[in-house]
Amino acid sequence: MEELKNLNSLKDIVNIRFDLFPDKTAFIEKDSNSKEFNHIKYKEVKNKINGLGTYLLNNLKLKGEKIAVIGENSSRWYISYMAVVCGVGIIVPLDKELPENEILNLLNRSGAKGIIYSSRKKDLIESIKKDLPSDMVYIDMNKRESDDVSYSLDRIAEIGLDEINEGNEEYLNAQIDREAFSVLLFTSGTSDKSKGVMLSHKNLCSNIYSCSCVVPTFGDYTCFSVLPLHHTYEFTLGYLFMTAAGGTIGICQGLKYFAKDINVIKPDFVLAVPALIERVNKVIEKGIKETGKEATIRAVKKVANGLSKFGLDFRRKIFSSIHEKFGGNLKYLFCGAAPLDAELITKMEGYGFKFLQGYGLTETSPLVSGTTLTLHAPGTVGKAVEGVEIRIDLSKNENENSNIGEIMVKGDNVMLGYYNDEEATKKALKHGWFHTGDLGYFDLRGNLVITGREKNVIVTANGKNIFPEELENLLNKLPLIGESMVYGKTKSKTSKDVIIAARVTIDKEELECRFKDNMPSDEKLYSIISGEIKKINRMISTYKVIKELEIKKDDFIKTTTMKIKRKEEIEKSDYSNMITTEMINKLKSKNKKEKRKLVNVEAKKIEDLEDNKVNKRK
């Protein structure tokens, strides 16, 4: 869509693009009162954005200020964001899953003067008010009328629209500096304290155009919104791009409503992360297993895949029953946030789904590279998108024969810097290049392959580098394993030798399906998983061998995009809630002692019987 190349700012989306499709549905979302799905038109969205912006600017005097937004995905969340950045001040999207103390910390760190929140966050906001500035402005997305506690978003948007109709055009005419700091996003912090990423209209508009070059026809489609909106992956690719292109966004009420909502909304594509794709695959595999026709389906799939190579693709028709579980229209699956296993992509595409794999970061607005509708390269994240350059920095690579290095990015999508952190900014941005902290290489066709995160690399005593993500991909293929985290563990406090440990969770559905009413003991479960890991160890180099196993009985500590917080997970290890190698060894040792004790008792009984017999003879 070449016309998106000319977007000067996000305000152009509202003032120019929306006017091209005023009566088209922009959002499909559940109404909290009627419990029905509402279809909200573009002209309605535009009026609310302009009305809210006018009130924030003229009545609440928030020009140039930072305003936070927090809540579940909704059209009002989008309206709040756009109203602020299109003529008021700087928007600060916050993660709704953060605990109270962290939300308070980010509000204070950002210097926000206002917060727009959903009613589900009302109690949390009330509890932290005493520690926020006395002049903080509170706006509730869902309440019907304003009161002494907070403003009603709908009501003040109506008042603002009335003021526009009476001739107040200050907000409508507000000039946007496309290169100025306009969005403050806090990273999810999987390894370090969250950083504040500063983005501009230029950053985001360049990425919208890059998206349009990857998928030029998606303005005719409906996107299923599942991932959290504070994350730039979902907001830029799912909301900004789709509304600029004139598409429709169907909003899922949450992961537990995924199956129900997708069948009502019937989307054409969904933005996902590997954990979600793996969950979808398990639903499909379970359904196939229940039919009892696995061998037949595999044979049909093989034939269908072969025909597709000659332009005869009947896979969607052949596996229509699978597609019906996801609304019947789902054609494309976008996967980002972390590398997705190539084998899983091939397996899912065998059922007629098409994959687009992308790579990006909050600091790059986010898209850096991606496969396209014509470039199909499972196991890679494709080539640099339009307007972006990628280089591999090999300067830190001590292995002359390796082409793996740190990924560097340059383009209009790269952030302005880190908020109030000049040192971190200088470290990340050098001579116009952003140093991502991710490691990768280019394959023979020029596609980017991600090998892992630089901070996650395990270095052995003899200098070998191990990428935990590689081993996690192998572990996650085991049916009984839900998720896994591989890390380096020292043998003792005084030792420098590092061993490879695997911490895993169990797929409870698979466990119940396999063992039903005869659930295995901890020792038996450990033995089964350990046996499967031994098979993996035979397939890999000796220095990568997994030597310790930890089975978590609860879920991993994760970000809202389902990435494991490795540092926090290791630091807050609760071994009382795990089945570990040490525990099993102690159990085995105890059992051996018990057996020896039992043998000794039995031997003593036999000895006593013999003595009794001898005494009777006497």
> Which of 60, 51, 89 lies closest to 166, judged by CA?
51
Residue 361 corresponds to which tokens in the numbers above?
């970061």
User: 575 and 494 share a domain?
Assistant: yes
User: 512 and 533 share a domain?
Assistant: yes
For residue range 163-178, list pLDDT tens digits in order: 999 999 999 999 999 9
Residue 322 corresponds to which tokens in the numbers above?
């699978």
Q: What is the mean pLDDT of the chain?
A: 88
Res 465 pLDDT > 50: yes
Rounded to the nearest angstrom, the gap between the alpha carbon of residue 112 and the centroid of all alpha carbons in its chain is 26
- Is 618 part of any domain? no
Burial zone of 392 (CB within 10 Å; 0-12 exposed, 13-18 middle, 19+ buried): middle
Q: What is the mean pLDDT of residues 77-99?
A: 96
CATH number at residue 384: 3.40.50.12780
- Is 285 part of any domain? yes
Q: What is the mean pLDDT of residues 71-75?
A: 96
Grouping H, G, I as helix, E, B as strand and the rest as coil, residue 111 is coil
**pLDDT of amino acid 190:** 43
- Is 150 part of any domain? yes
Res 498 pLDDT > 70: yes
Res 155 pLDDT > 70: yes
User: 485 and 412 share a domain?
Assistant: no
- Is 548 part of any domain? yes
Residue matched to tokens 């789904």: 353
**pLDDT of amino acid 605:** 55
Residue matched to tokens 């525990």: 583
**pLDDT of amino acid 400:** 63
Half-sphere exposure of 462 (CA within 13 A, CB side): 4
Q: What is the mean pLDDT of residues 509-514?
A: 86
Provide the residue range defining the domain that includes 348: 269-328+331-423+432-456
User: 521 and 393 share a domain?
Assistant: no
User: 87 and 188 share a domain?
Assistant: yes
- Is 221 part of any domain? no
Tell me which range, 202-206, 256-260, 483-487, is most confidently predicted by mean pLDDT.
Answer: 202-206
For residue range 516-555, list pLDDT tens digits in order: 888 899 899 999 999 999 999 999 988 899 999 999 999 9
User: What DSSP letter does each residue of 591-608 carry, written as one string?
Assistant: HHHHHHHHHHHHHHHHHH
CATH number at residue 570: 3.30.300.30
**pLDDT of amino acid 395:** 83
Percent of the chain with pLDDT over 70: 91
User: 78 and 151 share a domain?
Assistant: yes
Q: What is the mean pLDDT of residues 299-323?
A: 77
Question: Which comes out higher in pLDDT, residue 18 or 189?
Answer: 18
Question: Which comes out higher in pLDDT, residue 134 or 1?
Answer: 134
User: What DSSP letter does each residue of 227-266 carry, written as one string?
Assistant: S-TTSHIIIIIIIIHHHHHT-EEEEPS-GGGHHHHHHHH-
- Is 599 part of any domain? no
User: 462 and 508 share a domain?
Assistant: yes
Number of independent structural domains in the chain: 3
Amino acid in position 425: T
**pLDDT of amino acid 249:** 98
Neighbours of 248 (CB within 10 A): 23
Q: Go through the chain and tell me how many residues it has.
A: 618
For residue range 362-397, list pLDDT tens digits in order: 999 999 999 988 887 888 999 999 999 999 998 877
**pLDDT of amino acid 191:** 44
For residue range 583-598, list pLDDT tens digits in order: 887 777 666 656 566 5
User: 479 and 569 share a domain?
Assistant: yes
Which residues, at least 6 apart from 551, have a Cβ–Cβ distance to it below 8 Å? 503, 504, 505, 506, 522, 525, 526, 529, 578, 579, 580
What is the Cα–Cα distance from 603 to 338, expressed in whole angstroms?
Answer: 60
- Is 483 part of any domain? yes
Last residue of a domain, one of 441, 456, 471: 456
Q: What is the mean pLDDT of residues 421-431?
A: 95
Last residue of a domain, one of 176, 193, 216: 216
User: 303 and 313 share a domain?
Assistant: yes
Amino acid in position 272: A
User: 208 and 71 share a domain?
Assistant: yes
Last residue of a domain, one of 185, 216, 247: 216
Grouping H, G, I as helix, E, B as strand and the rest as coil, residue 424 is helix
> Which of 198, 197, 204, 210 lies closest to 178, judged by CA?
204
Buried b (16+ CB within 10 A) or exposed e, 71-85: bbbbbbbbbbbbbbb
What is the Cα–Cα distance from 422 to 420, expressed in whole angstroms?
Answer: 6
Q: What is the mean pLDDT of residues 104-108?
A: 95
What is the Cα–Cα distance from 464 to 59, expressed in whole angstroms?
Answer: 62
Q: What is the mean pLDDT of residues 415-434?
A: 96
Tell me which range, 247-251, 352-356, 604-608, is most confidently predicted by mean pLDDT.
Answer: 247-251
Q: What is the mean pLDDT of residues 177-184?
A: 98
- Is 225 part of any domain? no
> In this structure, what are the phi and psi dihedrals at residue 430, rounded to the nearest 5 degrees?
-130, 120
User: 117 and 79 share a domain?
Assistant: yes
For residue range 112-147, list pLDDT tens digits in order: 999 999 999 999 999 999 999 999 999 999 999 999
Least confident residue range of 112-121, 187-196, 305-314, 587-596: 587-596
Which residues, at least 6 apart from 203, have a Cβ–Cβ distance to it below 8 Å? 365, 412, 413, 414, 415, 416
How would you write 371-395 as a 3-class SS string? CCCCCCCCCCCCEECCCEEEEEECC
User: 59 and 171 share a domain?
Assistant: yes
Residue 380 corresponds to which tokens in the numbers above?
């890679």
